Structure 1
Amino acid sequence: MAENTAFSSSGEDIISKAIDVDQEGPQNLSNEELIEYYDIDRTVQEITGSDFKRIALQFPDELLHHSVPVYHEVAAQHVDADAVVHYGHACMSLTSRLPVIYVFGKKYLDPHACVESLLDSMQSSHIEPKVILLRLDVSYAHKTNDVLLELRSRLAPRISVLCNEITNKSLPVNGRRSIAGSSSDTTQNPQITHDMIFFVGGESLTLANILMTNSSCEVHSYDPHTRSARIESMRINKLLMRRYAILQKARDADVFGILVGTLGVASYLPLISHLRTTLSRAHKKSYTISVGKLNPAKLANFPEIECFVLVACPENSVVESKEFLQPIITPYELEIALQKEPNWTGRYELGFEQVLVSQSTNGNENEVSTEEEDLEQPVFSLVTGTYRHAKRYGVKSSNTQDGLSSAVAIRNQDNALSVLPDSAANEFLQSRTFKGLETRLGQDAPSVLEQGQSGIAKAYADDHL
């Protein structure tokens, strides 16, 4: 059998895939410990109190080994309800038409050791913070109030400590989702800005997103697994430098693919419409593709696309695209890449609403008049270090009637013509050496019908080999 490649596989890897168990999480739990860790009593109370009829338990891969015992504990309390219970890390934008109860688990955390390490790390800082924002990974959220009280008792009175709410359930209201409940009794006042962040948790997408969206703040992180704290300034710079390099590749692209990675966020439709309009105004070609979980083989099916824009929840918007053939950027990065003179101060946005609000505020300033723009002007690429002539889609050529010069292409060796106006896929196909087998309809006599083989592929009935 031929070896699998990056673009095709036998599917055997899905069946034989080894799942990484969360080593920091619980391994061998008694029934009492399982009930405590997965907050089963609260979950059952939420379900029965709402008089639901059926439930679905949803586990991430790394917690699947606990799914059966958790199911038995919930079923033992005669729960049969109409809701979704999501265990482990969850995107806060996760939505469905059903209520969702979030159960994050309760990993061990020593609040005193945590605060002690963070304050030691803070001593190396060159700034005197006035407002500190405390953020905890969801699996340590049950200790939020303990850490908060310890911090406030150890810090000077002139330093304020804020903390974001972490939701534990959400309910659909008129097709949208309202968030209810919290693991903390404190919330962040959006009018108060913070100048330092304390994060409690290990390496995760949450930490990476915090670093990118708070590049102007100093971030100190504490890892309960190693019981150590550190300042994250160097990581912030490296993350932003990688995103800036990807952004420069996006500036060289003329054909974009809008990847719809979620259908559960309320504002995804207005955002997709906005992205299409923005790309069209910049004379770029766009294709909209609905995808599930991203992988290189799936996106390799669209070789004519030069850059992808991922529309997903904030938790999963930033994708390290080293394994992918083309760069994958966020909607906010696209806004910057399409500017004539990119102006990036390091500010970063991941939420849909922020991108749409920013566009509605500065929309008139970003519009480019085609009369004033020189469409033939070469563009300098920081990636290749050379000038390039960008392809312009949606623009009528002045040298040909109705702008059909790039739309007319030879369809086959018999010089038959096909007209596909403004088709990036057609242009890409014509540039390929192999364009597929010729159908030759009406030119060849049909073959004589013969009896085919029967059976399965590896052992046909008449196969004697």
Structure 2
Amino acid sequence: MNNLEIDFEIKETIEFIQNGKFQKIVLQFPKNLLKYSIKIQQILKKSLSNSIKIYIMGDVSDSPCCIKESLAEHVGADCIVHYGHSCFSQVNKIPVKYIFNKYHFEINLISKNIIGFLESKEKSKDWIIFYDLSLNSHVNHLVSIIQKQIDKQKFNIKFAYFQDEFFSVLKENENQMKDSNQQIICGRKIEINQEEEMEKFSILYIGKNEDKYIEHLANNLAQNEIWVYDLITNTVELSITTQRQRRFIFQRFNFLQKIKESATIGIIVTSQRNKGDFETVKHISNLAKNSGKITYEISVGEISETKLGNFANDIDVFVAVSCPENIIQSKFLDFYKPVVTPFDIEQALNSNFIWDGNYSTEIDYTKWRNYENLIENLNENLNENQNENLNENLNQNQNENQNQNLIENQKENQNQNQNQNQNQNQNQNQNQNENLIENQIEN
């Protein structure tokens, strides 16, 4: 087996197609890997049945990290093989096989440098280690070395893993989280105990300084310091400071004010349709309507100032419904009108929203709905407590009245007894006096 077949996981791809009994396969390549597409297609065709159709998707200039499900549906594809970096945007119904870029790394050197760096940061004991997906085939070896050599009594280290089953539509949504300690953050699975707070962790990303994923981490972990281990230079640098994070949060707060002051909101839907996009658009429209705002839906291939400029006179704020890694871009800051995220809309227009201090470019309706349920439950509990207190007060008043009546009855009975005794004494005295008089007369 040559390097091409190993790097592009030909054997694993064939097994994926055969096990799934797929008949129409789309190969989605980013621009930098398109030069290998024809060769990969030919190798796969030789190893599969002649009845199986294999298509190459080449029109992926915008957001190649996203699964182009709508384009695959044009040829009736029943699965997609995605090559290169991915943001893991969820798809509606087409199974996906992910194949990442592969490089040859000196894992022993990398692990040695990382351990040395961690031990030099005496004040930072809690770490979450993310990694570029080009390391995915080496990560088990890397983690094994670090766990064996690091002092577990001194450091609390979590690893953010990629696992296929968390992003496959072949799995039910409820199976994505196997226990309450597992979280999905920026497309990676992390095991964090419920009592542990994300804010206490420092972040170490293993990749390259220019990786777009670093910005994605920064946007979603706005309260964490982020360090980068560069695989090119084998050095560690502080990439995202807490000061930069504060500026980012302040910037988003300015957008919140613009959303609240707006009269019209333009909902931008890009050409790639991800799972939940229709629900997101509907949810934003409802929030805007309840806040007295008008919404317009705009469909574009790629968000640009020129395209949005056509609507600048009619729309006050744009909200992008896009993949998590492309929903915030530095170029948006130069646009004439604000381009915000669904999270910004949720914060600005949902009166039940509870902010935990973290920003999110990912849409989590389960959590957002819980805010509304939480408020409803609090109100229900409040009403129940009020009713309980009312009943207690009524019972208490009733008991007090009963006790008071009992005391009054006792007093009344006591008075009656006293009167009766007095009458008896009077009668007795009267009888004595009568007897005394009779005796005197007789004498």
Match in the other structure for 2:211: 204
CA distance in 2, matches of 1:358, 1:328: 26
Instruction: Confirm or deny that 1:188 pairs with 2:190.
Output: yes
Q: Deviations over 1:253-292 (max 9, x none)?
A: 3321112237644433333222222222322222122333
Match in the other structure for 1:69: 39
| Counterpart amino acid of residue 287 in structure 1 | Y
Instruction: Confirm or deny that 1:108 pairs with 2:78.
Output: no
Match in the other structure for 2:11: 41
Match in the other structure for 1:144: 139
Alignment check: 8 A CA contact 1:258 1:288 kept:
yes
| Counterpart amino acid of residue 237 in structure 2 | R
Instruction: Confirm or deny that 1:281 pairs with 2:290.
Output: yes
Deviation of the 1:103 alpha carbon: 0.6
CA distance in 2, matches of 1:90, 1:101: 11
| Counterpart amino acid of residue 206 in structure 2 | V
Alignment check: 8 A CA contact 2:262 2:316 kept:
yes
Alignment check: 8 A CA contact 1:262 1:313 kept:
no
CA distance in 2, matches of 1:297, 1:347: 32
The runs of 5 or more residues in structure 2 that have no matched partner are 54-77, 178-187, 378-443
Match in the other structure for 1:53: 23
Counterparts in 2 of 1:10-409, with a 5 A limit?
A: 32-78=2-48, 80=52, 82-122=78-118, 125=121, 127-130=123-126, 132-158=127-153, 159-168=155-164, 171-172=168-169, 188-192=190-194, 193=196, 194=198, 195-202=201-208, 203-234=210-241, 235-261=244-270, 264-303=273-312, 304-320=314-330, 321-338=332-349, 346-353=357-364, 356-357=368-369, 359-361=371-373
Alignment check: 8 A CA contact 1:259 1:291 kept:
yes
Residues 317 and 325 from structure 1, CA distance in 2 versus in 1: closer, same or farther, beyond 3 angstroms? same
Deviation of the 1:244 alpha carbon: 4.3
| Counterpart amino acid of residue 224 in structure 1 | L
Highest Rg: 1 or 2?
Answer: 2
Deviation of the 1:121 alpha carbon: 3.9
Residues 227 and 241 from structure 1, CA distance in 2 versus in 1: closer, same or farther, beyond 3 angstroms? farther
Deviation of the 1:85 alpha carbon: 0.5
Alignment check: 8 A CA contact 2:287 2:350 kept:
no
Alignment check: 8 A CA contact 1:93 1:264 kept:
no
Deviation of the 1:348 alpha carbon: 0.7
Q: Deviations over 1:176-204 (max 9, x none)?
A: 89879xxxxx9533535451222111233
CA distance in 2, matches of 1:148, 1:241: 36
CA distance in 2, matches of 1:127, 1:255: 48
Alignment check: 8 A CA contact 1:60 1:88 kept:
yes
Alignment check: 8 A CA contact 1:319 1:329 kept:
no
Residues 66 and 323 from structure 1, CA distance in 2 versus in 1: closer, same or farther, beyond 3 angstroms? farther
Q: Deviations over 1:387-437 (max 9, x none)?
A: xxxxxxxxxxxxxxxxxxxxxxxxxxxxxxxxxxxxxxxxxxxxxxxxxxx
Q: Deviations over 1:28-72 (max 9, x none)?
A: xxx811111111211112112222222111011222122122222
Alignment check: 8 A CA contact 1:103 1:168 kept:
no
Does the residue aligned with 1:92 lie in a helix, a strand or coil?
Answer: coil
Q: Deviations over 1:214-234 (max 9, x none)?
A: 223332221212322122342
> Percentage identity across aligned positions?
23
Residues 236 and 113 from structure 1, CA distance in 2 versus in 1: closer, same or farther, beyond 3 angstroms? farther
Deviation of the 1:141 alpha carbon: 1.3
71-80 or 260-269, larger mean C-alpha shift: 260-269
Residues 223 and 359 from structure 1, CA distance in 2 versus in 1: closer, same or farther, beyond 3 angstroms? same
CA distance in 2, matches of 1:339, 1:53: 45
Deviation of the 1:148 alpha carbon: 1.0
| Counterpart amino acid of residue 271 in structure 1 | T
Deviation of the 1:248 alpha carbon: 4.8
Q: Deviations over 1:292-351 (max 9, x none)?
A: 3222222222121121111223233223304533221111122334489x9977411222
Deviation of the 1:102 alpha carbon: 0.7
CA distance in 1, matches of 2:370, 2:220: 15
Deviation of the 1:88 alpha carbon: 0.5
Alignment check: 8 A CA contact 1:197 1:220 kept:
yes
CA distance in 1, matches of 2:355, 2:107: 38
Alignment check: 8 A CA contact 2:266 2:298 kept:
yes
| RMSD value, Cα | 3.5
CA distance in 2, matches of 1:146, 1:238: 38
| Counterpart amino acid of residue 134 in structure 1 | I
| Counterpart amino acid of residue 160 in structure 1 | N
Alignment check: 8 A CA contact 2:255 2:338 kept:
yes
Residues 228 and 243 from structure 1, CA distance in 2 versus in 1: closer, same or farther, beyond 3 angstroms? farther
Deviation of the 1:156 alpha carbon: 1.1
Alignment check: 8 A CA contact 1:258 1:289 kept:
yes
| Counterpart amino acid of residue 345 in structure 2 | L
The runs of 5 or more residues in structure 1 that have no matched partner are 1-30, 181-185, 366-465
Q: Give TM-score, length-normalised by structure 2.
A: 0.64
| Counterpart amino acid of residue 368 in structure 2 | L
Alignment check: 8 A CA contact 2:95 2:168 kept:
yes
Match in the other structure for 2:421: none
